[in-house]
Structure 1
Amino acid sequence: MSNVLVIGAHGHVGIHMVEKLGKTGDNVFAGVRSDKQFAEYKDMANVSPVIFDLNGTIEDMAKVYTDNAIDKIVFSAGSGGATGDDQTLIIDLDGAVKSMLAAKQAGITRYVMVSAMGADDRSFWAESGLHGYYIAKHYADVELRNSGLEYTIVRPSALTNDEETGKVDVIEQRVGGMNIPRKDVANFVVAVLHDDKTVNHIYEITSGSSDINAVL
């Protein structure tokens, strides 16, 4: 059993993730921006909401980790599609990097990043219509790979609200039209957190035909 902090727990993937992790018996800390969001977690087993501000300092973040005895971190935060590139840089890039530095300061080694398929494909960034977003995701991933943390990077294809299947494909080359239910991204991250063989690996995932545990 681990103490897991999900940063971005109020996001469309994060909220599924904390619920699923709680059902596995982990102690889950749902990192959110405001205590107004706390009520959404009151009926979730083994889930405790905490304030985690990506605009805060590295020291503030490290204190959240140590105060709650966190030993695993999942970064699933994003500024959202309605914000400009400035907020994308502040949250998706600098916020992520600060959370990594805080992890090292607090002595935490395990860190899982929910990124985006195509984050390493510069030829795709400009045509995506989300150029700034992919730049931020790319360099956050680079920082994590070079951080010395025991990382796993999960890069899902386009996200949908379809029902989960528990099945994915891990791919080497992104192609148009790929998508995956948010709940299956959450399922994949839960599996990653419980499998030490995933340390220092990057997984580009989309809906598919393979059982998640079999893939890992």
Structure 2
Amino acid sequence: MVRDVYKAQRLPQIRGCEYVKADLYNYEAVRNALGDCNVVICAIGARAFPLDILKTYQVEYEGVINLVSAAKNQGNLKKFILISTIGATYLQLVPLIFWKKQAELYLQRSGLDYTIVRPGGLRNTAEPEQVVMQGADSQFFGGISRQKVAEVCTSALISADASHKIVEVISLSGTQRRSVVDLFKSV
């Protein structure tokens, strides 16, 4: 589900992935867009700057609520992965992070099989560094490439050890190389 199908189609193609345009603020549109989808990786996000508190609430909370509710009511979903942010528990005075945390709580109470991925600061460049994964509320800073976050999310789809977990991820050089699936086992 994307805002701009044309823009999404310029991304590298993913086998079995279909781009559908839908308005996250419209529950029926979200429900229809999900169709018979059996996994959701939710990577939506409001812009941090310039700050628009209403838009932040609408995207980070209402949008996620509509997506979680539609996925639950659809009845076919095997996994819901929500990309949130590092520090979601402790930085509640920041509106963007406050609403991300509220969306996390809604997903946790939904009854769906979920993984919440809290990445550090996102970078656009791929790097040779290794993923460092820890449980909720254990990391407070660090960065990670969007590509590595995507690897974490796709690994969560195939790892039973990722179910009902919140993981915080950054990447560092000089750390032991381990598969992301193995990292889920250790959290």
TM tier, smaller: 0.7 to 0.9
CA distance in 2, matches of 1:149, 1:213: 20
From 122, 136, 140, the equivalent of 1:175 is 140
Q: What secondary structure sits across from 1:149 in the alignment?
A: coil
Q: Is the 8 A contact 2:48 2:96 kept in 1?
A: no
Structure 2, unaligned runs of 5 or more: none
Structure 1 stretches of at least 4 aligned residues deviating more than 4 Å after TM superposition: none
CA distance in 2, matches of 1:146, 1:45: 30
Following superposition of structure 1 onto structure 2, how do residues 138-149 of structure 1 map, counting pairs within 5 Å?
138-149=101-112
Determine the structure 2 residue equivalent to 1:152.
Answer: 115
CA distance in 2, matches of 1:107, 1:164: 38
Determine the structure 2 residue equivalent to 1:186.
Answer: 150
Normalised TM-score (structure 1): 0.74
- Structure 1 residue 35 displacement after superposition: 3.6
Question: Which stretch of the first structure deviates more once superposed, 43-52 or 76-85?
Answer: 43-52
Determine the structure 2 residue equivalent to 1:120.
Answer: 89
- Structure 1 residue 205 displacement after superposition: 1.0
Determine the structure 1 residue equivalent to 2:61.
Answer: 93
Q: Would you say 1:203 and 2:170 are equivalent positions? A: no
Q: Would you say 1:73 and 2:37 are equivalent positions? A: no
Q: What secondary structure sits across from 1:204 in the alignment?
A: strand
CA distance in 1, matches of 2:74, 2:162: 22
1:180–1:117 distance in 2 versus 1, CA, 3 Å: same
The one-letter code matched in structure 2 to 1:134 is I
Following superposition of structure 1 onto structure 2, how do residues 9-20 of structure 1 map, counting pairs within 5 Å?
none
CA distance in 1, matches of 2:40, 2:5: 20
The one-letter code matched in structure 1 to 2:101 is H
Identical pairs, percent: 23
Instruction: Identify, as 1 or 2, the structure richer in strand.
Output: 1
- Structure 1 residue 60 displacement after superposition: 2.0
Q: What secondary structure sits across from 1:113 in the alignment?
A: strand
Count of matched residue positions in the alignment of Structure 1 and Structure 2 = 175
Per-residue displacement from partner, 1:100-133 (whole Å, max 9, x unpaired)? 1101111133211000011111xx344xxxx100
Determine the structure 1 residue equivalent to 2:32.
Answer: 63
1:149–1:162 distance in 2 versus 1, CA, 3 Å: same
- Structure 1 residue 50 displacement after superposition: 1.1
Q: Is the 8 A contact 1:166 1:187 kept in 2?
A: no
Normalised TM-score (structure 2): 0.85
The one-letter code matched in structure 2 to 1:62 is R
- Structure 1 residue 45 displacement after superposition: 4.4
Q: What secondary structure sits across from 1:87 in the alignment?
A: helix
- Structure 1 residue 166 displacement after superposition: 6.7
CA distance in 1, matches of 2:181, 2:5: 35
- Structure 1 residue 38 displacement after superposition: 4.6
Q: What secondary structure sits across from 1:52 in the alignment?
A: coil
The one-letter code matched in structure 2 to 1:147 is S
